[in-house]
């Protein structure tokens, strides 16, 4: 008597996964041609004045005097790249007189790195969008920012043009794991399309951390396991001198 062959769901799932991966790759190539990297638009004079904290007339005067960065002019309008805004900040900081404004708003001696966690008790509440906009705004206003994606779905990572399933990008998990393959967080950090803004990517492997913790508690590394909540803190301490602000996008499963 012959037995019916079991359904090969594993093969079907693998085939469907390959189709999804190919579709994502095609979409990414269309969005970010030709090098599949996300770009950044230029900024008009009014936007630059708001980000830096000076008047438009002051920026016009600097340009007329031939000082500061050389910028593109189209139809009488001047456009600055994000890198040119940084150059302009450095110029204003170096040439300020009696005013006490900080055109380059970096941490002063003795000031701690600020950590902002964006949390909510449910998904779909705009956490990732809020975290991304906050990180981008802080970077454009001159701060050195590190965005940390703690969600295995990697939505924040994708917003910055990094596709973990295609780029084979390491996630924060590599800096948290309990074995000998643990890495320094500096090895995981990726630059973004915005100067002054870096990101610690996420991927599906990040969810393994939730399973590793109870195993670590019950193993010889029990003390490390019980102090699991300190591992992110200790990882960030490794790059404390590189950033002014850390913005963390938390998954709803960790918010509680």
For residue range 214-248, list pLDDT tens digits in order.
888 888 767 777 888 889 999 999 999 999 999 99
Residues 215, 97: contact at Cβ < 8 Å? no
Distances (CA, A) of 111 to 4, 86, 245, 249: 70, 22, 11, 23
Position 198 pLDDT exceeds 80? yes
Q: Identify the structural domains of the chain with CATH numbers, from first to last.
A: 43-95 (1.10.1660.10), 114-255 (3.40.50.300)
Instruction: Name the pTM for this structure.
Output: 0.83
C-alpha torsion 8→13→16→20, nearest 10: -170
Residues 246, 236: contact at Cβ < 8 Å? yes
- Residue 236: φ, ψ to 5°: -70, -30
What does the block give as tokens for 140?
């454009």
Which of 82-91, 123-132, 176-185 has the lowest average pLDDT? 123-132
Q: Which of 192, 96, 191, 197 is nearest to 140 (CA)?
A: 197
For residue range 141-157, list pLDDT tens digits in order.
999 999 999 999 999 99
Q: Which of 161, 221, 213 is nearest to 191 (CA)?
A: 161
Locate tokens 């449910």: which residue? 122
What does the block give as tokens for 106?
């970096």
Which of 77-91, 121-135, 144-158, 191-205 has the lowest average pLDDT? 121-135
Percent of all residues in the chain with a pLDDT value above 90, rounded to a whole number: 52
């Amino acid at each position: 008597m012959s037995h019916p062959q079991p359904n090969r769901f594993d093969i079907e799932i693998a085939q469907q996964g390959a189709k999804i991966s190919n579709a994502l790759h095609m979409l990414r190539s269309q969005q970010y041609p030709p090098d599949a990297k996300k770009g950044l638009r230029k900024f008009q004079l009014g936007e630059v004045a708001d980000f830096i904290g000076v008047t438009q007339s002051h920026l016009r005067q600097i340009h007329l005097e031939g000082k500061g960065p050389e910028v593109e002019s189209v139809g009488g309008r001047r456009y600055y790249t994000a890198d040119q805004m940084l150059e302009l900040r450095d110029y204003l900081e170096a040439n300020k007189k009696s005013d006490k404004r900080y055109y380059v708003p970096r941490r002063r001696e003795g000031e701690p790195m600020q950590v902002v966690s964006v949390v909510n008790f449910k998904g779909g509440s705009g956490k990732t969008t809020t975290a991304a906009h906050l990180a981008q705004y802080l970077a454009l206003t001159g701060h050195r920012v590190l965005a940390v994606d703690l969600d295995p779905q990697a939505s924040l990572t994708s917003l910055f043009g990094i596709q973990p399933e295609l780029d084979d990008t390491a996630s924060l998990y590599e800096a948290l794991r309990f074995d000998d393959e643990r890495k320094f967080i500096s090895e995981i950090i990726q630059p973004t399309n915005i100067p002054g803004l870096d990101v610690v990517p996420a991927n599906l492997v990040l969810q393994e951390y939730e399973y590793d913790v109870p195993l670590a508690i019950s193993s010889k590394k029990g003390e490390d396991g019980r102090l699991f909540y300190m591992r992110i803190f200790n990882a960030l301490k490794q790059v404390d001198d590189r950033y002014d602000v850390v913005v963390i996008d938390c998954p709803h499963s960790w918010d509680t």
